[in-house]
Amino acid sequence: MRRTYNRANYILKDSEMKKFLFFAACCMLTALASSAQIPALERVEPMFWWTGMHNPDLQLIVHGDHISSREVALNYPGVKLVAVHKVENPDYLFVDLRIFSSAVPGTFPIKFTEGGKKPLVYNYELKGKDHATNRAQGVTSKDLIYLIMPDRFSNGDPSNDSIPGMLEQGINRAKMYSRHGGDLQGIMDHLDYLKDLGVTAIWLTPAVENDEPNASYHGYAVTDHYRVDRRYGSNELYKKFVEKCHRMGLKVVMDLVHNHAGTEGYTIKDMPMKSWVHQWPTYTKSNFRDAAVMDPHVSPADRKQMLDGWFDHRMADMNENNPYVQNYLTQNHIWWVEYAGVDGFRLDTYPYNDPEYMAKWALDVRAEFPHLSIFGETLVWSAANQAFFTEGNTVNRGFDTHLPGVTDGVWKEAVYEALNGKEGWTDGVNRLYSVMAQDFLYKDATKNTIFLDNHDMSRFLSVVGEDINKYKSGIAMLMTMRGVPQMYYGDEILMKNFSNPDGLVRADFQGGWKADTVNKFVAAGRTAAENDAFNYVRKLANYRKNTTALQTGKLMQYIPENGIYVYFRYDDKKTVMVVYNSSDKEQSTATDRYAERIKAAKKAKNIITDEVIDLAKLTIPEKSTLVLELE
């Protein structure tokens, strides 16, 4: 058995149940603090800030050996030292500044003095706010998001495969849970591929530092909120990545983790205070039951375990009721937008966060960047559960979450049922119809992100039994339904596998490493089937990119009959008719039932084949979908 002791407290991390000794924790705090092995002024965060921000208040977190014994002073026009907070751990100070509108960009010293000792000085920089219009522009239903795990996409810079001093060394592509060496440069090298495919936005799983001993390649165990993982590149390279994307007409979504942090991070190993993370008498995981957040009959103990329980031994649960934690996280996220110019945030494990804080966070971030888009991960089982977390549901919540959209996992499951299920009153394709009919639960369902798979679940192709007709039908629905479509890297080239174990769905994109014998980034390296799938995705994605009816048009759907589901996307420019045959056999259907939307149109163009067909009667192959532009 092994215990891990933190200087600011004592946290039990083994699966075996052990008693929490508060008295021993306090004693250990004093003993360990006296033997600090950190520099006298180890860091100041945020490292720099900007003039002209909406919120004039800034709270610096200062970490250094017994830094709390020092006095703080500064002198710079337009900047006021408001307060200095000493906390339980003597190695921290929280310094409140107010940056008035009169402040101009420049650098000034912040001095930390103590008696006759030599002053410690941090030269703090205020930069000018960037007002470029292509920064923080938002990701909307006009976009197609492409999700990439940086470690698994392409290795553009082998020199950063192993960084001296980091806990996990080297790469091993033969092991699914080892690092494989993908990086930011590798992604930048293949932006032309994504642009050609029809992608308009790129979402990377977290690129910030995850310096854990093993299996931290996924990015969700953050150990340094202000630093890009050096195995991916640098902060400067991340900024260049965003800038290059913007020059090419591509947007960038940053993945944020509010709920937890990696246990090797400095604020976890040497916590400012016991309440920095949620403490339990024994190691306690979340029960992972989102219903406990919304249940009017819930046991308070169940709700607390859902919100405050740890995600994993290596993922400490952040105490978002702590105002210092709130400031630290919110300022960090604002810092990244202003520094790099990202266009949107995807919020990891949204239901596990403190609800009131997340509502305040959304307001604070959007006050600085009004066009920035936000969507939260809510892998729940019903549309009502999803909608509960979105903005506008004040009757149910008692407050507004200010969360515009969610990852629409309920839509995904309904598509799976439509493709794989047997026909029934609420089964088969009727499930999809019913889920779409529940859009009344959302303030604006078009802000939901729809998807067929991601890094945490089985690949779409495998779920549909590698049936190419089902695959194409799912892609067609993804590109033509309401919402913001998101694809997972490699779906366009028929990457497959199931999520048990999850490493199998995080395979490398072949061609992204110099040692690869095939290159799937080019047509010559793909099989005939892979090129057929790639071309199908590209045709629909680029058609969608140029068709406002599929981006912002209205949606009208018809109750399925005989396994045939028909819906329309339309605006004053175009009408697109989508016809899905869920049957295992070819079917024909008369179109007079849809006359109110077809109106005077007699013919339509098949978007995939460019064939012009007669609308009087349609023939649809089994498990297939027609995407038709009415003429």
d(CA 320, CA 338): 23
Is residue 348 among the annotated active site residues?
yes
SS3 readout for 185-236: HHHHCCHHHHHHHCCCEEEECCCEECCCCCCCCCCCCCCEEEEECCCCCCHH
CB 289 within 8 A of CB 306: yes
Amino acid in position 548: T
With b meaning 16 or more CB within 10 Å and e meaning fewer, what string describes 405-435? bbbbbbbbbbbbbbbebeeeeeebbbbbbbb
| Tokens 């993982």, located at residue | 229
| Nearest Cα to Cα of residue 93 among 124, 121, 70 | 70
What CA–CA distance (Å, rounded) separates 225 from 233? 15
Q: Cβ–Cβ contacts within 10 Å for residue 29, how many?
A: 22
Identify the burial level of 519 via C-beta atoms within 10 angstroms of its C-beta, where 0-12 means exposed, 13-18 middle and 19 or more buried. Answer: middle
Cα distance from N-terminal residue to C-terminal residue, the chain = 72
| CA 465 vs CA 142, 364, 494, 530, 621: distances in Å | 30, 45, 12, 16, 18
In terms of DSSP bridges, do strands 484-488 and 449-451 run parallel, antiparallel, or are they unpaired?
parallel
CB burial readout 132-171, b (16+ within 10 A) else e: eeebbbbbbbbbbbbbbbbbbbbbbbeebbeeeebebeeb
Closest CA to 318 of 265, 266, 261, 280: 261
Write the burial class of residue 596 (CB in 10 Å: 0-12 exposed, 13-18 middle, 19+ buried). exposed
In Å, how far are 467, 469, 547, 589 from 586, measured between CA atoms?
15, 12, 29, 10
Q: ω into residue 206 within 30 of 0, thus cis?
A: no
- Give the separation between CA 177 and CA 191, rounded to whole angstroms: 26
Residue 303, both tokens = 């709700």
Q: Which position among 168, 183, 377, 391 bears the catalytic label?
A: 377
Q: What residues are paired with 48 via a beta bridge?
A: 125
Question: Could you tell me which of 451, 446, 453 has the C-alpha nearest to residue 482?
Answer: 446
Q: Is residue 212 among the annotated active site residues? A: no
Catalytic residue among 91, 343, 348, 354: 348
Q: What angle do CA 499, 503, 509 make, to 5 degrees?
A: 105
Measure the CA–CA gap between 539 and 466, rounded to whole angstroms: 21
**Residues with a known catalytic role:** 348, 377
